Amino acid sequence: MTGKLLQPIDSIIKITDLYFRYKKATWPVFHGLNLTVRPGERVAILGPSEAGKSTLALCLQGLIPRLIKGDFRGRIVVDGVLTTTCRPRQLAGRVGILLQDFEAQLFSTRVDQEVAFGPENLALPREELRQRVGECLDLMGLAGYDDRAPATLSGGQRQLLALAAVLSLAPKLLVLDEPTTDLDPLRVEELLATLDRLSRTQDLTLVFLGEDLRLARFCSRIVLLARGKILADGPPEVILREVERLRGLGLNPPELPALFHDLGQATLPLTLEAAVDQARDLGWDRTSQADSALPPALTGEDPEGGGRGRPPYGSEILALRRVTFAYPGDPPVVQDFSLSFREQEITAILGPNGSGKTTVLKLLRGLLTPQNGEVWQQPDENFRVGYVFQNPDYQLFAEEVWEEVAFGVRLLGLSPPEVERRVGEALTRVHLLDRAGDDPFSLTKGQRQRLAVAGVLALAPQVIILDEPTTGLDHREQQDLLGLVRELHAQGHTVIMVTHSMWAAATYARRLVVLLDGQVLLDGPARQVLAETAFLTRARLAPPAVVQLSRALGFMALTPEEFQAHFRGRNQPK
């Protein structure tokens, strides 16, 4: 059946009284949802996990109810066409969608073939096809990667590749579900600016779905969604200042308005420049000259004699020594590379997409074998390294949560009572014991992430490696998981994690390692590394806003709590 044009197009999305409940679900995702988006608009639809964002994306492309069944009522009109009157493939030229699970959209063995697949099915002339592929790869910063296998790209680069493939179809409406999860901070800014430019020059309508408030950067409108209902709909300059509402939804409000709100200010700045000016007008830069010294250049020493600097941890426990590794047919990712870790250390590895972070983790775990050099670990027959993948679904396979954790423990040859003790203890530590009989894939993404951690914990490893542990989690889930990481460190584990989240690195890690082009650019205590602004800029990173504000005012705070503590017991901010 061909989609029939229903009306003159004064809206590109018109949702009326939408009701949808998945098969076997006990409650509906949507119950009377109404939403209108005008052509060329840039809208950020933000909400916590289970708000209905991904389901909305599937509805807009007609996958619900055509391919994904359930109780569907109401009307969805996209670009003048009722979605229930045409097949999803007939909407492909109108609606482009980047799924939250973008890996599911990739299937080709070459980058250029991935981008070319869609336009090839439109029977475009070869020259136009070649032009589209080149333009889309260039837009996503992937020029020169044409003959690479997608599997050899970093997670962030694969996310950009999936988006390039969507853009190659030249849709009128682009729906992006959590498009920033795997990208470094500056790549996020560049991507949003690129999409904003495309929207303005090509009349492309953008709908961002997620919990990352950065998605509102170039949007004219924010819609707050929770449990399938619209709670707010307005301009970003209004919604982003509603700190308590955002927190109540489990979203992480922008750092600066949240900081000024918590310090009792009525005026809440959205930019660093406005925050610095307001703070200086309030006299905050003159509050405590005694503590105004900024950190020295990196020396490996802790200038504060403790705190968040690098204290004297135990002996070396794991190391890469002059390692070189390259994927088949590609130049080395790391060459003559050395990096070591000590007992009871908690380290965050930072760097731009493609800098070698995940490769380093896999080398440390033994999932990759270097062509040269040595992967050294503490000489102890009971020494173990646990590894949690960026996508927990890569390591989950059992039919029950309990069996998922028990599988690895049984391979150690332990007695049944010991297996039961370890599994119960691991599930208790990740707060999943009450879900022991459930199917792992019935859990939320955050719960599956914690389940993967439990499977590692049950093996009693001395070192726990986590690759982007907060990816795809809402703010509450991120805090929950990172709180668990902090607990594990306090219990004596050495923790190594890769992250793009600068606030997570500043808040939870004591040592930061910054990689660039397969080399160590910075390595030291968090406070000192985050003071090296020029080096961080080279690595496409930026300190958290609270760090930048505090430095502009003459002191150094890694977190909002430190910023507030700077004034506590002295002259309070006005």
Same domain, 447 and 486: yes
Same domain, 223 and 320: no
What does the buried/exposed string (b/e) look like for 263-274 if buried means 16 or more CB atoms within 10 Å of the residue's CB? Answer: bebeebbeeeee
Same domain, 339 and 467: yes
pLDDT of residue 470: 82
Neighbours of 551 (CB within 10 A): 18
Same domain, 464 and 341: yes
Same domain, 116 and 50: no
pLDDT of residue 44: 96
DSSP strand E in 434-565: where?
Answer: 463-467, 494-498, 511-516, 519-525
Residue showing tokens 């001395």: 462
Same domain, 391 and 505: yes
Same domain, 389 and 500: yes
pLDDT digits (tens, 9 = 90+) for 290-316: 444 555 544 333 433 333 334 456 789
pTM for the model: 0.83
Range(s) of the domain holding residue 155 = 107-170
pLDDT of residue 523: 96
**Per-residue confidence in pLDDT tens, the chain, 574 aa:** 445 554 445 899 999 999 999 988 889 999 999 999 999 999 999 998 889 998 999 999 889 998 888 999 999 999 999 999 887 777 877 899 998 888 888 989 999 999 999 888 888 888 999 999 999 999 898 999 999 999 888 888 898 999 999 999 989 999 999 888 878 888 888 889 889 988 988 889 999 999 889 999 899 999 999 999 999 999 999 999 999 999 999 899 999 999 999 999 999 999 999 999 999 999 988 755 444 455 554 433 343 333 333 445 678 999 999 999 999 888 999 999 999 999 999 999 999 988 999 999 999 999 999 999 999 998 888 889 999 888 888 889 999 999 999 999 999 889 999 999 999 988 988 888 999 999 998 887 778 888 988 998 898 899 999 998 887 777 887 888 888 888 888 888 899 999 988 999 999 999 999 999 999 999 999 999 999 999 999 998 999 999 999 999 999 999 999 999 887 645 455 4
pLDDT of residue 312: 53
User: Domain count of the chain?
Assistant: 3
pLDDT of residue 447: 83
pLDDT digits (tens, 9 = 90+) for 349-377: 999 988 999 999 999 999 999 999 999 99
Distance in angstroms (rounded) separating the CA atoms of residues 166 and 172? 11
Same domain, 338 and 384: yes
Distance in angstroms (rounded) separating the CA atoms of residues 424 and 359? 32
Residue 267 forms part of a structural domain = no
Same domain, 199 and 214: yes
Same domain, 51 and 195: yes
Query: What residue spans of 351-415 are helical by DSSP H?
Result: 357-365, 401-410
Distance in angstroms (rounded) separating the CA atoms of residues 157 and 178? 15
Same domain, 79 and 18: yes
